[in-house]
Structures are given as C-alpha cells and as structure tokens.
Amino acid sequence: MSTDIKSLGSFVWSIAELLRGDFKQSEYGKVILPFVVLRRLDCILEESKSAVLDMAGNLPDDMDDEARDTLLSGVVGQDIRIYNLSRFTFTSLKGQDAKDIHKNLIDYITKFSGNVRDIFLDKFLFTDQLKRLNDAGLLYQVFDKFTQVDLHPDAISNLEMGYLFEDLIRRFSEISNETAGEHYTPREVIRLIVSLLLINDKDALTGSGVIRQVYDPAAGTGGMLSIAEMEMKALNDRIRVELFGQELNPESFAICKSDMLVTGHNPENIAFGNTLTQDAHATKRFHYMLSNPPYGVDWKKYADPIKDEAAEQGMSGRFGAGLPRISDGQLLFLQHMISKMRNDEQGSRIGIVMNGSPLFTGGAGSGESEIRRWMLENDWVEAIIALPTDLFYNTGIQTYVWLLTNRKDTARRDKVQLIDASGERFWKSMRKSLGSKRREIPDTACDEIARIYHDMLNGNSGWEDVSKIFATTDFGYREIRVERPLKLAFAVTPEALEALREGKPFLKLGADDQTRVLDALQEHLPGDERWTCREDFDKALSAALRSNGVKIGAPVRKAILSAMSERDEDADVCTDKKGNPEPDTDLRDHELVPLGEDWRAYVQREVLPFVPDAWVDETHTDATDGGVGRVGYEINFNRYFYKYVPPRPLEQIDAELKALESEIAGLLQEVVE
C-alpha cells in the first residue's frame, strides 16, 4: 500500500473520531464506509451530471427501465452501470444552507440508479445513520470532511481504492471485537490461499487476452475477491479479472457490492441471499473459487430446500454426494463450489479454509464420510494445509486450507499432500491481540508454505515433520462388523422374576394369566438350578407351562427367556433354527481395515488370535460397491504428524514441587509476620 493511500486512510479514519460519544465504536463503519462509497461515486458522476440530467429530461416517461438505465449510464461512461438524477453533487451541497443538509442528502441518495439505491437504503440502511447524525448535530461536520477527500479515479485508481476500502474494513473490524471476524478474514490468510491457488498457474496467467473469473460463495465484505484480483494483476497487469460472489448478511453484502462499484467491477456479479438455497449464479462456472464459510453453524432453519435438492436431483445437483450433520454446513459450501468447476481444458481451482470437523467428523456411511469419499475417489483434493491457531478475530481454533482442482498435474494424480504449517516457524506473535487473533503468518512464512506445496516436498530433509504425500486411498478404510457368539445361562431367581413382572409383554397379560405363569416358573423350575443351554431351558419352560395349563404367545415367551438369562462365557452358544451361532450385540465390534488390505487377512492377523470364536458379518456391506464392510474416509492430521514428547524425569518434577512448596511456605510466613 502506497504512502498516499495510507495517509488518505488515516484521514478518513480520523473522521470517525467525530462520532465518539454519539456512536459506539462498532457502529463507526456503518457511517464512514457508506460515506466513502458515496464520495467515490460523487467524484465519478460529477463531470457528467449536466449531460445525464439533460438526457433524462428528453427521455419518454414510458421508456423501458432497462433501456433507460443503459442510456443514462452510457452518458456517464467509466465502464460502470450507475447514474444519479438529483440536481445535487457534493460541491453544490456544500453551497447549500447547512440546516438543509439532511433533506438534500436524502434527495441525492434516493435518486441514484436502482442498483445503488438498494445498497444505501436496504443494505447499509444509510438513511437511518444520516438521521442519527443529524439529530446529534454531526451530519454537516462529517459531510464537510468528506468534501475534502478527492476520490476521483484520476486521483485514486481502482486498485488504490481497493486498498483504501480494505484498510478501512480492517480497522473497523479490529475495533469492534464483538463482531470482528464474522465477515473479515485476516489478509495474510487470504494471501496464503491466493498464493497456493496461483503458484502453479503463473505461466497460464501471463500474456494478453487472458480472462479469469473468480468466485466466493460466502463473500463477506469481498476481501478474498479483491486480494485475488490484486495478486493476479501483480502477475499480469493486462489480465482481465471478473469477480463474482454471494453474501447473506445485508451489511457485509453492501460493503462488498460497494467495493465492486468503487473499483470498477460489475456490481451485479455480487448477489444477495443464501448461497445454499438460492444459488444466484446457478449457470456459472469459474476458474478460481475461494472462501471462508462459517464454522460450526447449523443449517437447520433452511434444511428443507437443501434436502429436497439432494433427494430430487441426486448427483446432478449440488448435494448428491451426501449431507453433513445439521450442526455444521461447511461441507455444503465445498460441494457447492465443486459443482461450479469448469469442465474445459483450463478447469478450476478451489481454495477454502475450514475448521477440523470436515477432516474426520462422521464414520463410514455418514454424510461427511461420503462427501470425503466422493472428493477423494474423484481425485479432486490436491493438498490440505494445517494453519496455526489464534489467527482469526473471533476464534482461536485450528483451521485448515483445502486445495482442490479438476486438472491435477500428472505428478499429483491419485495423491494428496498434507502440510502441517501450524508450527512456530510459520507464525509470529502480534504485539497487540485483536479479539482472539494473537498470531499472524509473516510474508516469508507464506512464501515458504507455497514453496513446500509447489515443490511437493515429501518428508524431504528438514521437512519430515511438515510435508507428507499420501495416496488418496490411504485415507480410506472398510468398517467391517465383527460378531461374537451369544452365550446365555438361565435361572429362575427372585431378581429375574421381578424383571419379568416389569416387562411390557408380561404386563399385557390378564392378572390371572400373570399369576399362573409366575406359579409355573416357581413350582417347576427351582431357583437353585442353572441351565447353560438355551434349548434345554426352553424345553423345561414349555414343560412347566404345560403342567400348569398355561398357554403364552411368542412375545411373552421371549420376555421370559430374556428375564431369566444372563451372559455367561461358560454357557453353550445360542444358535438359530439353522444351527448357526447367534451374535451377541453387546459384544459386537467394528474394525477399520485399510482399503488396500484384504479384510480376511486383516481378521486372521488382528482379530482371531485374540477372540478365536469371532466372525465377520458378511451381510454388512457397502451401499456403493457391494463389498463386505462399509467404506469410509477420514484425514487425521494428528496421526500423520504426531510427535512423541517423553515425560520429564520424576526427579525433576519432584524437585520443582519441593521448590514451589518452599516458595509458598515463605509467602505464608510473610503474611503471618
């Protein structure tokens, strides 16, 4: 950022000091940011004001709105589709009576073209802020300060305007810690993601006539989009970058769309609404996509349209691979982005930052596991980078950057690179914490991470604990169901009889039948006798009931067998009608067999030596490939980068404890004296 832009940013920032006392710090941005946008547009439109008003006066009243917008914005030029039909400009407003400033500014704002009116009135709610300023006697002072700022494109380029806007957003985010981070991703994190997305494409981005489209489905204030464009233009100043996005939060949307306006982009490419339920760019496909979606935010309140799309459209829709648990929608955003990959030679690249949940939450067959399976089996996942903790303003948790593409280089096919960039060499402490943000990634570390990724370092000398490359199948497993036989012993004990009395099938019998059943059990099946074979006890039970002339149905017989039984390793195995052993559900276990290994060999080696009577339930199969066991995928960073730290010697710990005891005793002595 140039010194001039820094100075301009400081001047604009100083205007916020006028608000102190009448506005909370967290509200400064709601006043200053719309004024910056308004001043930029005023500087752009002032020169053509007379020509636009003349054109508007000569147009027929019944002209189509779209045609009218085209003609009037054409008079403005500047490659932006906006105009203003108020007679005022900032210059002429300054010449008006100060007491009329509120009324005149309202006239000015409400006579913008519709796409700008929407920003100021519906999203920024700027008329509310103007009224507050006017009631506090501050409106003319703030307005007058902004008339001293020259934001004409001849003075401040679109690129510089982007820098200014980003600097102001950062400052306002930093002073409003209760909301900071909800719409602002730290610049160094964005720069890292963009570097990772572009580092392998430098040759393809150079030259003339290059056009690239960039998309963020959770655009926030547009920081990711603007920095992506900035980095791409640094590689090639002739490149044309078209930015697209969608945002749900009205204020964040207003800031993002304003940024597009003041930097010369098409503001219509930034849509308002819920990306997951109302895809505003349904027919679009993009070269680059990057995002920082909400972490751990549930999607319960808009689950119905998502579930309907998944059920009705299947794999032809966005969510056919699976649905994550209702408490976390991160993988919905990732699936949405994958659906927007280009199917041409250029393909697409995706960079998304998420927390640890999408890596390992959900077992085999769950929505999360099936989504991971879909991505890995299609060979889209290129790399995952673990970032340091305490990077974000509203959370200290660890986050991960996922890189995906549908045009992998030959060397990367069927492989995934894991990079553990959470260590101290990749971050430095900030001099002053900002909310939960206590660390930042220096530029040198950002470049180093990008180099590790680009060079595909795989446990190379000096990087054994940082970068490792795996086959995509290394993250997969088959969850086989291991059964053990049911072994029951039977006895008619007081405890067993009490359990029977509380059983629902038994309670449905009439009172006389209940008494006759209990009498039959106690008279003919002595409590001191124990049966270790279910078949023998069942025969004895039948004889006892016949002796008392009692007839019972299958549910009651089952209830009696259940109440009178207990598990006993020395008892006989219970079998079904075909003589096959019945499984004991309490002893049921599941083993995770690596995809590359035959499950039979695994069981022979890892299971049977310890439980020789176990067997695998071969009816427990995968819904997709029909094989024994359900296929699952998880990516456990701790497993691959775990570093064993031996405990300290007991003598050292004991010495420290004694030293602390002596220190505490000394402090207590001082208190007594």
Q: Which pLDDT tens digit goes with each residue over 543-557?
A: 999 988 889 999 999
- Of 514, 510, 536, the C-alpha closest to 525 is 536
Distance CA 318, CA 447 (A): 34
pLDDT band at 647 (very low <50, low <70, confident <90, very high): confident
Does any domain span residue 505?
yes
306-321 pLDDT, tens digit per residue, is 999 999 999 999 999 9
Name every residue whose Cβ is closer than 8 Å to that of residue 455 and which is 6 or more positions away in sequence.
Answer: none
- Taking a C-beta distance cutoff of 8 angstroms, is the pair 430, 388 a contact? no
Sheet holding 399-405, edge to edge: 270-272, 240-247, 211-216, 288-291, 349-355, 399-405, 381-386, 415-420, 467-471
Which of 68-72, 130-134, 144-148 bottoms out in mean pLDDT, i.e. has the lowest?
68-72
Distance CA 451, CA 457 (A): 9
Report whether pLDDT(180) > 50. Answer: no
Question: Which DSSP string do the residues of 287-326 spell out, in sequence order?
Answer: SEEEE-PPSS---GGGHHHHHHHHHHHGGGSSSTT----T
Does any domain span residue 510?
yes
Per-residue pLDDT, averaged over 199-218, amounts to: 93
522-532 pLDDT, tens digit per residue, is 989 887 899 99
pLDDT value of residue 4: 72
Report whether pLDDT(300) > 80. Answer: yes
Does any domain span residue 500?
yes
HSE toward the beta carbon, residue 353, CA cutoff 13 A: 25
Q: What percentage of residues in the chain have a pLDDT greater than 70?
A: 97
pLDDT band at 89 (very low <50, low <70, confident <90, very high): very high
Query: What is the average pLDDT value for the chain, to the nearest integer?
Result: 90
Does any domain span residue 515?
yes
pLDDT band at 177 (very low <50, low <70, confident <90, very high): low
Per-residue pLDDT, averaged over 447-470, amounts to: 87
Report whether pLDDT(1) > 70. Answer: no
Paired residues of 467 in beta bridges: 419
Does any domain span residue 86?
no
Name every residue whose Cβ is closer than 8 Å to that of residue 30 and which is 6 or more positions away in sequence.
Answer: 124, 125, 129, 251
The helix (run of H) or strand (run of E) holding residue 655 is helix 650-672
Does any domain span residue 497?
yes
Three-state DSSP at 540 gives helix
Name every residue whose Cβ is closer than 8 Å to that of residue 589 and which is 6 or more positions away in sequence.
Answer: 481, 482, 484
Does any domain span residue 541?
yes
Q: Where are the alpha helices (DSSP H) in 148-186?
A: 158-175
Distance CA 199, CA 288 (A): 13
Q: Where are the alpha helices (DSSP H) in 98-157?
A: 101-110, 114-117, 126-135, 139-147
370-423 pLDDT, tens digit per residue, is 999 999 999 999 999 999 999 987 778 899 999 999 999 999 999 999 999 999
Paired residues of 631 in beta bridges: 478
Per-residue pLDDT, averaged over 440-449, amounts to: 94
- Taking a C-beta distance cutoff of 8 angstroms, is the pair 521, 560 a contact? yes
Per-residue pLDDT, averaged over 573-595, amounts to: 95
For residue 87, give Cα distances in angstroms to 36, 41, 371: 20, 15, 56
Per-residue pLDDT, averaged over 85-111, amounts to: 93
Name every residue whose Cβ is closer than 8 Å to that of residue 11 and which is 6 or more positions away in sequence.
Answer: 149
Domain of 496, in residue numbers: 488-567
Q: Considering only CA atoms, give the Rg of the chain.
A: 35
pLDDT band at 3 (very low <50, low <70, confident <90, very high): low
How many domains would you assign to the chain? 1
DSSP 8-state symbol, 341: B
Three-state DSSP at 476 gives strand
216-235 pLDDT, tens digit per residue, is 999 988 889 989 999 999 99
For residue 166, give Cα distances in angstroms to 34, 184, 255, 295: 14, 10, 10, 23
Paired residues of 260 in beta bridges: none
HSE toward the beta carbon, residue 672, CA cutoff 13 A: 6
pLDDT band at 2 (very low <50, low <70, confident <90, very high): low
- Taking a C-beta distance cutoff of 8 angstroms, is the pair 241, 212 a contact? yes
Q: What percentage of residues in the chain have a pLDDT greater than 90?
A: 66
Name every residue whose Cβ is closer than 8 Å to that of residue 41 and which is 6 or more positions away in sequence.
Answer: 82, 84, 112, 116, 261, 262
Three-state DSSP at 332 gives helix
Three-state DSSP at 52 gives helix
Report whether pLDDT(179) > 50. Answer: no
Does any domain span residue 540?
yes
Report whether pLDDT(189) > 60. Answer: yes
The two structure tokens encoding residue 459: 């446990």
Distance CA 457, CA 449 (A): 10
Distance CA 664, CA 132 (A): 58
Report whether pLDDT(107) > 70. Answer: yes
Report whether pLDDT(198) > 70. Answer: yes
Per-residue pLDDT, averaged over 626-646, amounts to: 89
Report whether pLDDT(178) > 60. Answer: no
- Taking a C-beta distance cutoff of 8 angstroms, is the pair 241, 271 a contact? no
Per-residue pLDDT, averaged over 89-97, amounts to: 91
